[in-house]
Amino acid sequence: MVTSLVRSNRRFLVAAMMFVIVVINYLDRSNLSIVGPKLAGTLHLNAVKMGFVFSGFGWSYALLQIPASRFVDRVNPRYLYFIVLGLWSLGTLALGLVGSFAMLLTLRLVVGALEAPSYPINNRVAATWFGENERASVISFYTSGQFVGLAFLTPLLAWIDVSYGWRAVFGFTGAIGLLWAGIWFSFYRDPKDFPGVNGAEIDWIALNGGIPDLSERVVQDKALLWADLRIVLGQRKLWAIYIGQFGVVATQWFFLTWFPTYLVTYRHIDFMKSGILGSFPFIGGFLGVLSGGLLSDWMLRRGVSLTVARKVPIIVGLLLSTSIAGASYVNNPLYVTAFFTCAFFGSGFASITWSLVSTMAPMRLIGLTGGVFNFIGNLAAIVVPVMIGFLIKGSDFTRPLIFVAATGLVGAICYIGLVGKIERIEEPA
């Protein structure tokens, strides 16, 4: 029975803490793209080598999703986030010292590996602290951190690059991460141990489908990874959201890697001006991710089914992301930016996909399902930067943008035809 106490609202503080981590997370993914033109000149890297450097993060990040998810299912988020955030921030600092292609690629692989548990941890924390009535909005809120950081801090990073050199950009972003790792460890706790949380808030979370005692439910079982993988890889519905996530992430990774280079090298836009124009798509992404989550939860509160409320923003967003191809057919920088802004708005609008992992995954395997989901989605972090490097023909960037648009279209088709009813998948007896 729900307690009569006035409900505390510490869960929103937890959401704000995750928001900051996501800002840091994406600054450390995208800082290389900001300094890409200067760094390529310093280290004498051609387009193909830059493609591999841009994808280096994605190789280790994607390939370690599944083993990292085992830690997420077993290790309290307070400790796991402190360790991985602190270590990847040290790796980011070290990127400011590189002097060769091999060292640069190696450190990007290291940072990618250490960031691998981040989104599965976010998903576990969201499942712990928020019920279905709030989860999409909260996931969209902290996910918006990736766009907020890039939209408002991209000009700052460009200014640091121009004023102090590309090495200072890595120093700045790495130092922020180290500071926040300490803050997270000092303040984060599970609901029953979090200062200021009362029984009414814990009851509210549980009543609406959250799992405030998730850490206590986690069983240190001895089930083989392969046995659990057969469960999360044996469901058509899950495969549909896995492939759909590839379409969402593909658009994001164009912006996280090649976008500044595209503006400077292939559209010949001044670097500082490109930093300003380059912030508009991220503002579009920010507005998209917030509006997608708010619309989804609004529909749910108005009596729309969970299936429709979740799928509509995702499908519409993926279809909007295909507008990225239109940038190849205009010359005015403002029109180019408009197409990119529309595409990134769509990608953000579709970014409530993580809410489906919390809702559909077998309860014991939320972390593993999130790991597989993020692994397949972030294969785009490997494929997209490298494919763009190979698809560029001289100064023509048309084929790479059509390729990115196609991934969004395939993702929309998966959600339209394969996901079906959204409900929790039970483990086989």
Condensed to tens digits (0 to 9), the pLDDT of residues 236-271 reads: 889 999 999 999 989 888 877 778 777 777 776 665
Residue 270 belongs to some domain of the structure: yes
Please choose, from the candidates 27, 191, 42, 51, the residue with its C-alpha nearest in 3D space to the C-alpha of residue 115. 27
Q: Does the reported pTM lie above 0.85?
A: no
The helix or strand, by DSSP H or E, that contains position 418, with its residue range, turns out to be none
Mean pLDDT confidence for 52-69: 81
Residue 2 belongs to some domain of the structure: no
Q: How many domains does the chain have?
A: 1
Condensed to tens digits (0 to 9), the pLDDT of residues 305-315 reads: 888 999 899 99
User: CA torsion sign, 24 to 28 to 30 to 36?
Assistant: positive
DSSP class of residue 378 equals T
Residue 57 belongs to some domain of the structure: yes
Percent of the chain residues topping a pLDDT of 90: 24
Please report how the helices 366-377 and 236-257 are oriented relative to each other, as an axis angle in degrees rounded to 10. 50
Confidence (pLDDT) at 277: 67
Which residue range(s) make up the domain with 317? 10-209+228-417
When pLDDT is cut at 50, 70 and 90, the band that residue 1 belongs to is very low
Confidence (pLDDT) at 225: 67
| Cα–Cα dist 291/296, whole Å | 8
pLDDT at 342 over 90: yes
Residue 106 belongs to some domain of the structure: yes
CA angle 410, 413, 414 (to 5 degrees): 90
Mean pLDDT confidence for 316-321: 94
Residue 215 belongs to some domain of the structure: no
The four Cα atoms 116, 122, 123, 127 give a dihedral, to 10 degrees, of 150
Residue 424 belongs to some domain of the structure: no
Q: Are 340 and 420 in contact (CB under 8 A)?
A: no
Q: What would the two tokens of residue 74 be?
A: 């077993």
When pLDDT is cut at 50, 70 and 90, the band that residue 139 belongs to is confident
When pLDDT is cut at 50, 70 and 90, the band that residue 2 belongs to is very low
Confidence (pLDDT) at 224: 65
Residue 186 belongs to some domain of the structure: yes
Alpha-carbon distances, residue 91 vs 52, 86, 177 (angstroms): 18, 9, 10
Residue 72 belongs to some domain of the structure: yes
CATH code assigned at 300 = 1.20.1250.20
Mean pLDDT of the chain: 84
Is 236 buried (19+), middle (13-18) or exposed (0-12) by CB count in 10 A? exposed
Alpha-carbon distances, residue 417 vs 78, 144, 244, 347, 412 (angstroms): 39, 28, 11, 19, 9
Condensed to tens digits (0 to 9), the pLDDT of residues 187-237 reads: 999 898 898 888 888 988 888 877 787 777 665 555 566 777 788 888 888
Mean pLDDT confidence for 413-419: 89
